[in-house]
Structure 1
Amino acid sequence: MPGSLRHQRVFVAGHKGMVGSAIVGRLKDLGYENILTASRDELDLLDQAGVRAWFAEHKPDQVYIAAAKVGGIHANNTLPAEFIYQNLMIEANLVHAAHQSDVQKLLFLGSSCIYPKFAEQPMREDALLTGTLEPTNEPYALAKIAGIKLCESYNRQYGRDYRSVMPTNLYGPNDNFHPENSHVIPALLRRFHEAVQNDAAEVVIWGSGKPMREFLHVDDMAAASVHVMELDDATYQAHSEPMLSHINVGTGVDCTIRELAETVARVTGYQGKLVFDSSKPDGTPRKLMDVSRLKSLGWEASISLEDGLRDAYQWYLDNHEVARMA
């Protein structure tokens, strides 16, 4: 199956983002010969007619939906309308255009925030829609849940093979390093780097430091995504349940935010004091993925957190002048 897929036309939506660029790199490493991409100037994913016309012209055989409006707690909390509207439109336009163009294979990338705030840990795929979501990112989570259900619905009604992967917290090269709108790892890497440069006596970290999080390097995410897409239908279906099209992607290991901050301090060489601001929101108490389904399908993560952080920090050092800061 993989050999035949690698000759097909593969569209990676969101190829300039952290995940999309890693998927493009993984596809190239595996010998994919015909990778299609489109910048925002070339294709506005919020424009339904434009997306439909692009598909009609370029006729992809496979689609990876890595395009999304993303951000950390602060961005989700202050821009809820943008997060729900843009993510709903992007996924709806792409999934429907793929179907209209007779694309049989599609992979939708979601997020672990789809699960209830107090879901049993580690979170299994069947925890979806069993409880209340974390309020700070509920609009984004609802959009991602809708994306899963879009894929399931087109599979049910039209016999499509549209799969979904739900990654845990991602980080790595091409991340967004804005100090407030980014996710926790790039925000901390930048903050600690600047603290070293300025010889700061202390670094302030949002929240109590007690919440537990799982982190996955984006290169592992890309490898998992292509692995899931390449699985033949019989293998994939043998490890699937009816009406359960999504697969968790993570390491199966978590740490506290305090432990993460201490590791970032070590990686960046910061030796000052760490101060935790408990007046800022913590978000979900714990988010650990049950990745047993993905392991049963033959894949598991290989990049340790400290090694991954060193790679991400080196990328920032090499690219901080052009890194995304918004």
Structure 2
Amino acid sequence: MSDSETAPERELTMSRAIVDAIASEMRANDDVFVMGEDVADYGGIFDSTEGLLEEFGREKIMDVPISETGFIGAAVGAAQVGMRPIAELMFADFFGVGMDQIYNQMAKNTYMSGSGVRVPMVLMTAVGGTYNDAAQHSQTLYGTFAHLPGMKVVVPSTAADAKGLMHAAIRDDDPVVYMFHKRLMGIGWMPAPDGPKTPVSDEDYTIEFGNADIKRRGDDVTVVTLGLHVHRALEAANDLDGEIDTEVIDLRTLVPLDTETVLDSVRKTGRLVVVDEDYHSFGVSGEIVARAAEGGLDDLSAVRRVTMPDTPIPYARPLEQEVNPGADDIADAIRGVTE
């Protein structure tokens, strides 16, 4: 089915919704399996595979050595011979040690072979900061992956979206980078904000890639964002309710990107704020502004970007909170485009 709203629902955290989708796909298709660091006995350090080992065993839920090049390369090979691996890169920050396998193999092999091989695999990875894990474990790097052709890029912000997007990712015949924000997973030692825990259908469903979701409708300002900052944008919009009527768009996928939903909103509001936990320069925020200008420059009267500054992410809590955009920063930007 494609519409989760017609089936019975229960409320899940984002981590449980991800596991629910993976388990369902594994039951339906013997070619689906999971491999990564600490995905078996530990259940993933952000609970992304919790409980799967007990049901599917070690032949399907595989702990691997600390060698991203090795296990991502193995996943690429398995995908090319017809399996559907889910390889977990523990932190997106670690992409550098496996970049050849990710970008020169996973992303390019279908093109390089003239479509002689497909690479139907999911590279699942944790992104984001806000919990003091310093510069090598706190980045989002959405723009880095989206910039490189050949990979679809998915960023859920709620449990309902996480399930539908994971079903779609596993079934896709192209490589998908599935980026979940640690702060949204609902694990006990890292409390999530209000919002990501949502009703989720008992039945399987997919969410089409390239289909943004308008999380809040408004007429005065368009806010475009993804991941954790969907919830911070909604907080800012609710705080401004009665003063400024703010529309909040959750992109959900970066590749493909739903440009039309953004342009339709900007035509209505005339004002655009882009919020991104990734770095300010050469990234998602600049791409959204560029597309808005190319497709609707005459409709735009004001634009602001709210992003991470171009600096390594600090370890110290006060410094990390200073650089990571909060609801107050977003509210200031919304006010700024209406002045």
Question: Normalized against structure 2, the TM-score is what?
Answer: 0.35
**Highest relative contact order (Cα 8 Å, sep 6+), 1 or 2?**
1
Question: Normalized against structure 1, the TM-score is what?
Answer: 0.36
Higher strand proportion: 2
